């Protein structure tokens, strides 16, 4: 019997996120767009006057905050409506209008940073010390001072902001191709056909039916290969955008342009890549284990996520929330209560897949909205892990936005991936500590390896690809589909070793992995932060689950700090030093221990 997805209109409202809490309807959204545009001339009146007095500067921060907060809600609403149905043309239009409004607001505000720098940092610090309205801005000005050499003249800043809209067309084109225009033949197995979609592919690749796994894998990869030239052109444009911005702002490279504004040392990136390469042998050992457990002579790419046992651990959504809540219980009753209410009552989460729903999972929201979660829940332990991950982001946002002033309400991606992986690590540890049945433990460890697979294999591999691409474009080299496929396949083959056969057509399919990440590679050097996140989270979760004195409180303090501290300082507050190699090395050691434990459990059956 064929399995198909419901349309968006057929999804029970109980299982959708609370979009009406942002704007009651599209008409209210339209009115808010006009309000943002109407307020832009008011901001222009501050131009040339920020240095007049502390009160004038404070007035500027308050006026610009009001417009930014409203624009934030506009962006969230547009993202919500588009993500759940990428074929909805009204939602597509809202997304485009939001991007244009963002560029216009950025242009209207572009004079501000150069003017603040012109005031002089001694004077700004004196104003912070003497004006109650500016007293919270000390760290903001410290950051600005550190980046002042990369802030251009007001007229240049305005141009750089205005071009952000057209330069975003590359990622938009790739996303539309993947989420709206791409068509996938169904997977075919012993029980019939199953629909291949962005919301179902992960579940299909872990199906117990080998034919479903193979045909789903081929359907998904081949659809991307059919559009590889267009997608490669889009990605090349995205990389060139990064190189353009880095040069326009005077950075040494695109990598420096990504890390320096976040105050992340280059060594953190290089430590991850080196540790990853030093530990590929652990992955080779895992593939050998997997081949033996599956009883196959040759392990193929479509079997790298095949179940290792007959037990399929079904985890309904409500059960998943209960297990995540139990896992994070060491963080306190208030924490757990907020999480449960958001996931079960306040409709933070858009839960199940439907036709037209885009791929992936993410947490979104701003100061004046709920911390929403987008996903496609599939009633298994892997979906539970994704839910735990996104709830980690949303709880981070909840504490940051409810504690910090607007200027510090947003935290960086570097901190974000620690909070999300922390949830997964705590939930996994709870299940391993309380569910002693060997088959249940194998299922949990399979989830752990799936998580490591994504964050300690795929993401570092994409980070290596990303570095090669940027350096190639910086040298003036071309980026083509053939080049991308070959480079991606070579990088993947290094981690597969001789244990996974990617010969023939499968080399092309593995090589198309870059095309299957429709947003990540357009976020200038983002993907490495998944690996740093899992490293920091493993360290913190060990302390919290062990009941170390003050560990939970220091972690909550980290969440509440938002963007009020430099990223590495915020993590030190939580109890981890990401400037050292120890957390990364410890996380790879945890990967090795997980493989060893799987070997032991499977051998004992």
Active site (catalytic) residues: 390
- β-pairing, 187-189 vs 192-194, is antiparallel
Residues in the chain: 605
**d(C-alpha 6, C-alpha 13), whole Å:** 13
- Do 425 and 538 touch, CB atoms closer than 8 A? yes
Collapse the DSSP code of 374 into the 3-class scheme (helix H, G, I; strand E, B; otherwise coil) and give the result.
strand
Cβ atoms within 10 A of the Cβ of 169, count? 15
Percent helix, strand, coil in the chain, to 5, is 70, 5, 25
DSSP character for 348? -
The position carrying tokens 């989270």 is 537
373-402: string of b/e by CB count within 10 Å (b at 16+)? bbbbbbbbbbbbbbbbbbbbbbbbbbbbbe
Which tokens sit at 351?
Answer: 């839960």
Q: Do 382 and 318 form a contact (C-beta atoms < 8 A)?
A: no
- For helices 266-278 and 582-603, angle between their N-to-C axes, nearest 10 degrees: 30
Task: With beta carbons less than 8 A apart as the criterion, state whether 544 and 330 touch.
Answer: yes
CA distance 328 to 340: 11
Residues 485, 481: Cα–Cα separation, whole Å: 6
Q: Which residues of 258-280 are buried (b: 16+ CB within 10 A; e: fewer)?
A: bbbebbbeeebbebbbebbeebe
Instruction: Return the structure tokens found at 476.
Output: 């003036």
Which helix (H) or strand (E) segment holds residue 187: the answer is strand 187-189
Cβ atoms 575, 551 nearer than 8 A: yes
Task: Report the helix count and the strand count for the chain, using DSSP H and E.
Answer: 27, 7
Contact of 598 with 438, CB cutoff 8 Å: no
d(CA 428, CA 3): 30
Task: Please give the order of strands across the beta sheet that includes 349-350.
Answer: 349-350, 372-374, 362-364
């Amino acid at each position: 019997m064929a399995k198909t997805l419901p349309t968006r209109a057929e999804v029970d409202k109980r299982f959708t996120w609370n979009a009406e809490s942002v704007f009651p309807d599209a008409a209210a959204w339209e009115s808010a767009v006009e309000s943002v545009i109407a307020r832009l001339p008011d901001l222009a009146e501050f131009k040339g006057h920020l240095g007049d007095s502390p009160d004038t500067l404070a007035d500027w921060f308050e006026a610009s905050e009001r417009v930014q907060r409203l624009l934030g809600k506009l962006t969230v609403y547009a993202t919500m409506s588009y993500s759940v149905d990428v074929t909805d043309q009204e939602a597509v239009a809202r997304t485009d209008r939001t991007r244009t409004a963002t560029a216009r607001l950025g242009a209207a505000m572009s004079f501000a940073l150069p003017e603040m720098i012109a005031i002089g940092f001694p004077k700004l610090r004196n104003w912070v010390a003497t004006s109650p309205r500016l007293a919270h801005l000390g760290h903001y000005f410290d950051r600005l001072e550190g980046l002042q050499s990369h802030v251009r003249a007001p007229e240049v800043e305005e141009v750089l902001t205005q071009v952000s809209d057209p330069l975003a067309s590359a990622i938009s084109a790739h996303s539309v191709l993947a989420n709206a225009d791409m068509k996938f033949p169904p997977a075919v197995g012993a029980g019939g056909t199953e629909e291949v979609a962005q919301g179902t592919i992960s579940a299909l690749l872990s199906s117990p039916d080998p034919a479903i796994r193979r045909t789903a894998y081929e359907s998904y990869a081949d659809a991307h290969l059919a559009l590889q030239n267009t997608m490669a052109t889009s990605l090349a444009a995205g990389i060139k955008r990064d190189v353009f911005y880095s040069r326009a702002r005077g950075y040494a490279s695109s990598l420096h342009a990504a890390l320096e504004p976040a105050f992340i040392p280059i060594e953190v990136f290089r430590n991850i890549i080196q540790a990853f390469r030093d530990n590929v042998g652990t992955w080779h050992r895992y593939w050998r284990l997997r081949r033996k457990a599956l009883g196959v002579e040759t392990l193929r790419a479509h079997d790298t996520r095949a179940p290792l046992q007959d037990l399929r651990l079904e985890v309904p959504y409500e059960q998943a929330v209960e297990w995540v809540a139990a896992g994070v219980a060491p963080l306190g009753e208030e924490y757990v209560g907020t999480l449960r209410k958001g996931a079960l009552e306040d409709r933070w989460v858009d839960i199940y897949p439907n036709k037209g729903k885009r791929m992936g999972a993410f947490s979104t929201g701003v100061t004046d909205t709920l911390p929403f979660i987008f996903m496609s829940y599939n009633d298994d332990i892997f979906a539970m892990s994704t839910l735990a991950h996104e709830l980690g982001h949303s709880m981070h946002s909840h504490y940051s936005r409810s504690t910090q002033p607007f200027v510090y309400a947003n935290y960086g991606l570097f901190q974000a991936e620690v909070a999300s992986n922390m949830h997964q690590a705590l939930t996994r540890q709870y299940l391993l500590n309380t569910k002693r049945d060997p088959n249940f433990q194998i299922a949990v460890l399979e989830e752990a390896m799936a998580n490591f697979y994504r964050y300690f294999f795929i993401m570092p591999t994409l980070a290596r690809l990303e570095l090669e691409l940027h350096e190639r474009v910086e040298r003036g080299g071309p980026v083509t589909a053939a080049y991308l496929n070959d480079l991606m396949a070579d990088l993947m083959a290094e981690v597969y070793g001789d244990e996974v056969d990617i010969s023939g057509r499968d080399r092309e399919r593995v090589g198309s992995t870059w095309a299957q990440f429709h947003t990540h590679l357009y976020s200038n050097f983002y993907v490495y932060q998944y690996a740093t996140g899992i490293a920091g989270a493993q360290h913190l979760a060990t302390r919290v689950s062990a009941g170390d004195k003050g560990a939970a409180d220091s972690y909550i303090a980290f969440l509440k700090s938002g963007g009020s501290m430099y990223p590495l300082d915020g993590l030190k507050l939580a109890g981890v030093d990401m400037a050292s190699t120890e957390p990364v090395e410890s996380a790879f050691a945890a990967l090795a221990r997980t493989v060893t434990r799987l070997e032991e459990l499977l051998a004992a059956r």
